[in-house]
Amino acid sequence: MEAVSVRRVMGIETEFGITSTQLDRRGTPLSPMLLSAQVVRAYAAGSAAGDALPTSAGWDYADETPLRDARGFEMARALADRSQLTDVDDPAIANTVLSNGARFYVDHAHPEYSAPEVTSPLAAVRFDRAGELVALRALETLAADGQEVRLYKNNVDGKGASYGTHENYLVPRSVPFDRLARLLIPFLVARPVIAGAGRVGLGQASETPGFQLSQRADYLEAEVGLETTLRRPIVNTRDEPHATPHLHRRLHVIVGDATMADVTTYLAMGSLSLVLRVIETHPELLEGMTLAHPVRSAQVVSHDPSLRATVPLADGRELTGLDLVEAHLQAVEQARDQALASGDERWAEEPGQGSASTDTQTTSQAGTDGVLARWREVVDALRRDPAEAAGQVEWVAKHSLLGRFRQRAGVGWDDPRLAAMDIQWHDLDPARGLAQKLRAAGHLERLVEDEQITTAVTAPPEDTRAWFRGECVRRFGPQGDVRGASWDSVTLLDERRHARRVRIDEPTSGTRAQVGPVLARHTHTATLLGELASEDA
């Protein structure tokens, strides 16, 4: 399947924090790895036929790296500990594919929802919220079975550990990586000003009392590197495009926060996608923002909710995080104006114009202009008084709520109740989660309706290959004709029950428009495979 698009493909992965009081038969607490496997299995077990691949199928590791095989092995070993789980012998069953095109699996001993590929920041919000519902449904299934498990959409456990939310952006391979890394660093350092989820405590183990903008800043230790869990870099060099390698790179951003506030998620994805567009088309507009000490500056920016602290640039200037965010906004505005004047279609389409019909984007959120308007509005509010952005920017909302409690109680940021409220902010249970309650009460502005989110739990985005993946799961999964899937392939059974891999190297192919008519002609994969190119799996 071929088709190259100029629209930005993106996807968010979320590792959920997990706790439970559950004990095994010997009375010891279940390991997070096993608990996470139970959560993932519970979703498949509790959902309708066609919502997730049956547990005999799963993720196709064929294209993944030896590193990933090692992790699969680690997981297999843990699952094979039959003293804790008696009915599991295949790690693939804790690694499933959903009919919305997402992957729901166990990674680093956390349940992880990897959202399907979408082409706009608003769709990214919708499928990110759908992931919260997927996780909640799994918890409900466990609860019906008498098991109480809690999940948190955050990145720190309050005891020193941090786990990731990864953003993924499709970038042309032709953009030199050193340029990408160099020009991205200042924005990634400053972005928490508009995209941070907020955190109680300074330092990896919250050694110093205080409140900061970002969950991840204190865990950054390098500027550029391959790691995601040790010596974490600002720019991650992992090069697994899950797409035609000579055409594409998948930029893997590991420094961002999991976010519960729609506008925050939207701005995080929208602003970075547009900064990438400037790097691709007008890199000169971002020159001169190089930071003298990026890692240290990430902490300085994060540790200052007043937004007044400055960081040194390589050219000797001193700017605040908000200044840097605004300078990037101006660069995007300038690049957009120049590009539109010269008819550059990469800007006319970016991001998310002309999305499929299920993306009922209101005009105010559609495309480049929607992101720019929001970005400007939030920057101006933060300039006047950070508290003004409490309905849009998650760290501000958290800071306001916890700050009011702190004042009423007359305590410092080291009060343990504040640390507990910070964790509770991210609880996925709507009856407990503080962000969920603010959302429900209308104090956190929403960009997607409940109904759109519910639909996105089972229906894939229509304008990427996630559509083909998800529809195969929905249509052919229940009859056992889908062997597995990966980001760039779906493995189906032919008439002899042999596995055939259908490759979808281009993320914007396999769309409803492209393969909808083909799929509609078949009720079985055996005949469908006759119409699609495939290879032995």
Work out whether 47 is an interface residue with ligand ATP (CB under 6 A).
no
Phi, psi of 343 (to 5 degrees): 70, 30
Give the per-residue contact string, 215-244, with ligand ATP (x = CB under 6 A; - = no). -------------x-----------xxxx-
- Cβ-proximal residues to 75 (8 Å cutoff; 6+ apart), any chain: 33, 37, 91, 94, 106
**Residue 338 DSSP class:** H
Pick from 154, 168, 281, 509: which binds ligand ATP (CB under 6 A)? Answer: 168
Helix (H) or strand (E) holding 346: helix 345-348
Whole-angstrom distance, CA of residue 351 vs CA of residue 515: 23
CB-nearest residue to ligand ATP: 11
Give the per-residue contact string, 247-286, with ligand ATP (x = CB under 6 A; - = no). -x-x-x----------------------------------
Q: Are 297 and 311 in contact (CB under 8 A)?
A: yes
Out of ligand ATP, Mg ion, none, what residue 115 binds, judged by CB under 5 to 8 A for its kind, is: ligand ATP
Work out whether 13 is an interface residue with Mg ion (CB under 5 A).
yes
Q: Of the ranges 7-15, 306-314, 315-323, 512-520, which one interacts with ligand ATP (CB under 6 A)?
A: 7-15
Whole-angstrom distance, CA of residue 198 vs CA of residue 212: 6
Work out whether 249 is an interface residue with Mg ion (CB under 5 A).
no
Which residue number, 240 or 388, has a Cβ lying nearer to ligand ATP?
A: 240
3-state SS, residue 97: strand
Nearest approach, Cβ of residue 68 and ligand ATP (Å):
7
Which residue number, 35 or 519, has a Cβ lying nearer to Mg ion?
A: 35
Out of Mg ion, ligand ATP, none, what residue 199 binds, judged by CB under 5 to 8 A for its kind, is: none
**If you count them, how many residues does the chain have?**
537
Helices 66-79 and 32-46, axial angle in degrees (round to 10): 90
**Cα angle 396-402-408, degrees, rounded to a multiple of 5:** 130
Nearest approach, Cβ of residue 272 and ligand ATP (Å):
12
Work out whether 126 is an interface residue with ligand ATP (CB under 6 A).
no
Number of residues that bind ligand ATP (CB under 6 A): 26
Which residue number, 44 or 170, has a Cβ lying nearer to ligand ATP?
A: 170
Which of 9, 34, 1 is closest to 464 using CA atoms?
A: 9
Active site residue 90: no
Q: Which of residues 398-437 bind ligand ATP (CB under 6 A)?
A: none
Q: Of the ranges 91-99, 159-167, 191-199, 346-354, which one interacts with Mg ion (CB under 5 A)?
A: 159-167
- Provide the 10 A C-beta neighbour count for residue 201: 21
Q: Are 147 and 493 in contact (CB under 8 A)?
A: no
Whole-angstrom distance, CA of residue 404 vs CA of residue 421: 12
- Token pair of 497, please? 């029950």
- Token pair of 520, please? 């509609």
Which residue number, 131 or 305, has a Cβ lying nearer to ligand ATP?
A: 131
Whole-angstrom distance, CA of residue 87 vs CA of residue 78: 13
Pick from 47, 91, 99, 103: which binds ligand ATP (CB under 6 A)? Answer: 103
Whole-angstrom distance, CA of residue 49 vs CA of residue 356: 25
Which residue number, 281 or 486, has a Cβ lying nearer to Mg ion?
A: 486
Nearest approach, Cβ of residue 433 and ligand ATP (Å):
23
Of 51, 60, 107, 304, the active-site residue reads 107
Work out whether 107 is an interface residue with ligand ATP (CB under 6 A).
yes
Out of ligand ATP, Mg ion, none, what residue 242 binds, judged by CB under 5 to 8 A for its kind, is: ligand ATP
Whole-angstrom distance, CA of residue 91 vs CA of residue 105: 10
3-state SS, residue 222: strand
Nearest approach, Cβ of residue 66 and ligand ATP (Å):
13
Nearest approach, Cβ of residue 117 and Mg ion (Å):
13
CB-nearest residue to Mg ion: 166
Long-range CB pairs of 353-357, under 8 A, 24+ apart, other chains included: 353/7, 355/119, 355/120, 355/123, 355/463, 356/461, 356/462, 356/463, 356/511, 356/512, 356/513, 357/462
Number of residues that bind Mg ion (CB under 5 A): 3
Q: Of the ranges 6-14, 174-182, 379-387, 427-435, which one interacts with ligand ATP (CB under 6 A)?
A: 6-14
Give the per-residue contact string, 102-121, with Mg ion (x = CB under 5 A; - = no). ------------x-------
Nearest approach, Cβ of residue 262 and Mg ion (Å):
22
Give the per-residue contact string, 163-202, with Mg ion (x = CB under 5 A; - = no). ---x------------------------------------
Assign 3-class secondary structure to 23-84. ECCCCCECCHHHHHHHHHHHHHHHCCCCCECCCCCEECHHHCCHHHHHHHHHHHHHHCCCCC
Nearest approach, Cβ of residue 171 and ligand ATP (Å):
8
Q: Of the ranges 5-13, 23-31, 362-370, 461-469, which one interacts with Mg ion (CB under 5 A)?
A: 5-13
Whole-angstrom distance, CA of residue 148 vs CA of residue 333: 49
Phi, psi of 434 (to 5 degrees): -70, -40
Q: What are the residues binding ligand ATP (CB under 6 A)? A: 9-13, 103, 107, 112, 114-117, 166, 168-170, 228, 240-243, 248, 250, 252, 487, 507
Q: What are the residues binding Mg ion (CB under 5 A)? A: 13, 114, 166
Just list the catalytic residues.
Answer: 107
